[in-house]
Amino acid sequence: MVERNSEEYEGSARWVLACELQRLREASGKSLAQLAEETNYDRTYLHRLETGERLSKLPVMEALDRVYGTRELLVRLWGLARLDAFKDKYREFMKLEAKATIIHKYAVVVPGLLQTEDFARFVLSSSPTAISPDELEDAVAARIGRQELLRRTPPPSVRIILDEAVLRRPAPDPEVWHGQLARIEGAAKALTMTIQVLPFSAGVQDLTGGPLSLLWMADGSAVAYLEGNRSGELIEESAEIERYRLSYDRLRDAALPPCDSSAFIQQLVEDSRP
């Protein structure tokens, strides 16, 4: 069985994944050294996956699925395990977001679905609460892992309205910031992604107090999610969802059209070149 320094993860999806990784390797008769050679991942790193100390990233799970011939078993377990990195208040929203067919967002910071790995690392490391290097990397992996929903078949239809402040508040490292702006510019070109900029000139709007997500499922049901700095609220009552949808529609009308938003972002990308 997988050994633990604590019982923190026991019974969780992350614990199940760690146990399955160890079981598969032992059943295959491979040593950690052999597995490291076959996957090109460090032996110590692979061991820490088997003990649950590290969460890993999707490409690692894909490589291990290939080695063990387990199709997408480990990828699916990883999809559940990464939810453990989020606080309880976010988990239900993350599950719904991963299944949504239509996603509408208003953002006052760069949303996780658009963050580069370097920018996510900067944001997560800027917390006043101390975080270890391993915890930081797990948090980055969990956040970037959310973006897998954009690569589903078929992918969801996504519309993101970015407050202009999002694009005017750079990361300290010019290269990191340029890469982040370029990521947003590239996302705006995707056929299933629409990005609009809400300019300062639009003035105060009903939703400019904080971020909002609206999700629609394949069965027609919908939820709204309001996210604060240290709190979040999942709204499932239909009348409330409709109110937020109308507010979002007004915000969309006040934002720059997609083509003008794209040109606006493109200019910022050019201006931010290190």
Q: Decide if 74 contacts 64 (C-beta within 8 A).
A: yes
Task: Write the CATH number for 77.
Answer: 1.10.260.40
- Where a domain ends, among 30, 57, 82? 82
Please give the pLDDT value at position 89. Answer: 57
Q: Which domain holds residue 99?
A: 92-271
The answer on 113 and 65 residing in a single domain is: no
- Where a domain ends, among 63, 82, 101? 82
Please give the pLDDT value at position 3. Answer: 44
The answer on 78 and 96 residing in a single domain is: no
The answer on 106 and 36 residing in a single domain is: no
User: Is 3 part of any domain?
Assistant: no
Between CA 170 and CA 179 the distance in angstroms is: 11
Please give the pLDDT value at position 235. Answer: 87
pLDDT tens figures, 189-230? 999 999 999 999 999 887 766 799 999 999 999 999 988 655
The answer on 19 and 114 residing in a single domain is: no
The answer on 153 and 51 residing in a single domain is: no
User: Is 1 part of any domain?
Assistant: no
Q: How many domains does the chain have?
A: 2
Please give the pLDDT value at position 56. Answer: 79
Give alpha helix (H) positions in the chain: 13-28, 32-39, 43-50, 58-68, 73-81, 88-99, 117-125, 133-145, 164-168, 174-187, 238-254, 258-271
| Nearest alpha carbon to residue 92 among 129, 100, 2 | 100
Please give the pLDDT value at position 4. Answer: 42
User: Is 104 part of any domain?
Assistant: yes
pTM: 0.72
- Where a domain ends, among 24, 47, 82? 82
Please give the pLDDT value at position 52. Answer: 83
User: Is 69 part of any domain?
Assistant: yes
Residue numbers in the chain where pLDDT is lower than 50: 1-7
Torsion sign, CA atoms 239, 92, 58, 175: positive
| Nearest alpha carbon to residue 139 among 86, 62, 80, 75 | 86
Sheet (strand 193-198) strand order: 193-198, 157-163, 102-107, 212-216, 222-227, 232-235
**H or E element, residue 198:** strand 193-198
